Amino acid sequence: MGNSEKSISSAVIKRLPRYFRYLGVLKANNITRISSKELSEQMMVTASQIRQDLNNFGGFGQQGYGYNVDNLYTEIGKILGLDKRNDMIIVGAGNLGQALANYQSFNEDYGYKVMALFDVNPKLIGISVRGVKVLDIDEMESFIKAHDIKIAALTLPKDQAPEMAKRLVEWGIKGIWNFAPIDLHLPEDVTVENVHLAESLMTLTYNIHNREESGD
């Protein structure tokens, strides 16, 4: 594929998971090929945007044929790294940590395997969430190293998050899925993906109230 030879804009990368999701639905419905026009109608983006985005990867479409759904799904999956092992841990096994561990689709649809949750609360240590154990935080360093874990979800109180993130990186974590509402300052070779539901909710209320005020 050679996509690593060329840098792909972050705007395109951000759109890829959505292509992947739509293609997954087409695949599940036994649809084997689709034109950029049909895909554009379903996804509500322009056909030229789709062609441009997919051309970044050598263009998987053929004139007059459209896109082979299986191929495109596989190739985008590879670009997103879903063909690799993506084992992860969850740090903080409270409401949100357990909700993430309970969400089957990460594993079943995308292959992200939650290997363990970690917490400091003795009441939680030892329980299982969908078959995954909550372990004592003191076991985390050796667990990360033994299982070569590269991804950690941070679902612990925000005042604990920066220090925890630093330790995780020292122990080999390369990607932090950060749910704690605080910015993390980490070395450049570490990827942080922030997920802040409240921020998206604020965008929603901004839009609602601005529409109301402008009378749309």
Ligand X SMILES: NC(=O)c1ccc[n+]([C@@H]2O[C@H](COP(=O)([O-])OP(=O)(O)OC[C@H]3O[C@@H](n4cnc5c(N)ncnc54)[C@H](O)[C@@H]3O)[C@@H](O)[C@H]2O)c1
Q: What residues form the annotated binding site for NAD(+)?
A: 92-97
Number of residues that bind ligand X (CB under 6 A): 25
Nearest in space to 34 (alpha carbons), one of 16, 14, 54, 12? 54
Among residues 86, 101, 119, 144, the one that binds ligand X under rule CB under 6 A: 119
* Residue span 13-52 as binding mask against ligand X, x where in contact by CB under 6 A, dash where not: ----------------------------------------
Segment interacting with ligand X, rule: CB under 6 A, options 1-9, 14-22, 32-40, 112-120: 112-120
* End-to-end Cα distance, the chain: 46
Among residues 197, 202, 204, 208, the one that binds ligand X under rule CB under 6 A: 197
Segment interacting with ligand X, rule: CB under 6 A, options 37-45, 62-70, 80-88, 193-201: 193-201
- The answer to whether residue 144 forms part of the interface with ligand X (CB under 6 A) is no
Q: SS3 of 9, please?
A: coil
Q: Which of residues 146-185 bind ligand X (CB under 6 A)?
A: 155-158, 160, 164, 179-181
Q: How far is CA 173 from CA 31, 42, 152, 155, in A?
A: 38, 37, 7, 15
* Residue span 81-100 as binding mask against ligand X, x where in contact by CB under 6 A, dash where not: ----------xxxxxxx---
Beta strand 66-68 pairing with 61-62: antiparallel
CB 134 within 8 A of CB 155: no
Nearest in space to 69 (alpha carbons), one of 39, 33, 43, 105? 33
Among residues 16, 79, 132, 137, the one that binds ligand X under rule CB under 6 A: 137
Task: Calculate the dihedral angle through the C-alpha atoms of 123, 129, 133, 136, rounding to the nearest 10 degrees.
Answer: -30
